Amino acid sequence: QQQVKQSPQSLIVQKGGISIINCAYENTAFDYFPWYQQFPGKGPALLIAIRPDVSEKKEGRFTISFNKSAKQFSLHIMDSQPGDSATYFCAPQETSGSRLTFGEGTQLTVNP
């Protein structure tokens, strides 16, 4: 089952640049669209999430853009910093359901 496709698998960005990670999904019943951030040796942690009634949400340097008709959403990291180097997962969900599945992850490296 390939309900969630995340791209790219890896991304290298220079400090101060913009990092963009995309997530495409198939299930139109999804109604919660989060991004998780994971540092080496740690569990993933919720970074930012959006509901389908808005097209964009910004929290500091992190922005989610949501395109319902295209069934995709993306994470934008502005002014990327070396401390943002981590693995990022999208995990679109149907909140009325129980199963919660994740994309395959994007390894972001921000060079100083």
Partner 1 sequence: DAGITQSPRHKVTETGTPVTLRCHQTENHRYMYWYRQDPGHGLRLIHYSYGVKDTDKGEVSDGYSVSRSKTEDFLLTLESATSSQTSVYFCAIRRQENTGELFFGEGSRLTVL
Contacts to partner 1 by CB under 8 A = 1, 6, 32, 34, 36, 41-46, 49, 89, 91, 93-95, 98-105
CA distance 14 to 9: 17
CA distance 98 to 39: 26
Judged by CB, which is closer to partner 1: 7, or 17? 7
Smallest distance, Å, CB 1 to partner 1? Answer: 7
Judged by CB, which is closer to partner 1: 46, or 78? 46
Smallest distance, Å, CB 95 to partner 1? Answer: 5
CA nearest neighbour of 19 among 72, 87, 80, 107: 80
Distances (CA, A) of 99 to 15, 29, 77, 87, 92: 37, 13, 28, 22, 11
The values of phi and psi at residue 51, to 5°, are -100, 160
Smallest distance, Å, CB 105 to partner 1? Answer: 4
Judged by CB, which is closer to partner 1: 84, or 92? 92
Judged by CB, which is closer to partner 1: 78, or 100? 100
